Amino acid sequence: MSKISELLEANTASNRGSLIGYFPAGFPTVDDSVAALVAMAKNGCDVLEIGVPYSDPVMDGIVIQKATEKALENGFRLKQLFDVIRGVRDEVETPILVMSYWNPIMRFGVENFSAQLKEAGAQGIITPDLIPDEASSWIGVSEKLDLDRVFLVAPSSSDQRIESTSAASSGFVYSVSTMGITGERANLDEIAKSLTSRVKTLGSVPTCVGVGISTAAQVREVNSYASGAIVGTAFVNAFATGGIAALTEKTKELASGLG
């Protein structure tokens, strides 16, 4: 079992929820992103999700789009991702996943990217636009290097797709709470509960819910039926408007919903 799966299941067994926190590498600079991620880890995030800035972020809402655009404008390059991971790992032991669209990884070289990721101290990759059917090279490399593969399922996914995605995933399955892009929402769709129930029935890997989670109440609600809540926009927005101090407060606020 992966380190992340073990952590999620241990938290569930102790009646405590889990919080996965997203922040883009290089926003607004490499050093700033390291400081932000360390603050998130020290103030309540159980798992860190480091985003790779990309010029065509089809899943990301406006807040994250602007942050990744700023990172790219400031000269962020993919090779600096490993510097961010090392910088965080020097300060905390919190598990780290990288969130990346597949094209940058493919251009970098799947084996080279994975090897450097492992060496830097990360536990795996979340691939929002890669499905297991097209991931044979990544699955092979990840098994060789013992890296987690986090694939996504959506409310529109068939039972067959959920079953195959769960079988191919390790760490957890990323259940997208609602159809659409990332961003803060006042209410989470009821369909998220139905989706996670299907994932639990059809698979054996924990599932965490992301997209639209921005309050402690929502973190608490999601953890009542899933293995963890994934938050991105709320963290990025807090840092963009108030720096480390605001990000620290937002992390503590959301972590207060873990029980």
Q: Exactly one of 60, 133, 146, 249 is catalytic; name it.
A: 60
* CB-based contacts of 63, cutoff 8 Å, min separation 6: 183, 233, 236, 237, 240
Burial string for 194-233 (b: 16+ CB within 10 Å, else e) reads ebbebbbebbebbbbbbbbbbbbebbbbbbeebbbbbbbb
The DSSP secondary structure of 217-241, one letter per residue, reads HHHHHHHTTSSEEEE-HHHHHHHHH
Torsion sign across C-alpha atoms 239, 230, 34, 126: negative
Residue found under tokens 């490993």: 82
49 classed as catalytic? yes
Alpha-carbon distance values, 51 to 64, 98, 117, 189, 226 (Å): 9, 6, 13, 25, 22
Q: Exactly one of 6, 9, 49, 111 is catalytic; name it.
A: 49
Tell whether omega for the bond before 95 is within 30 degrees of 0, i.e. cis: no
Q: Which residues are catalytic?
A: 49, 60
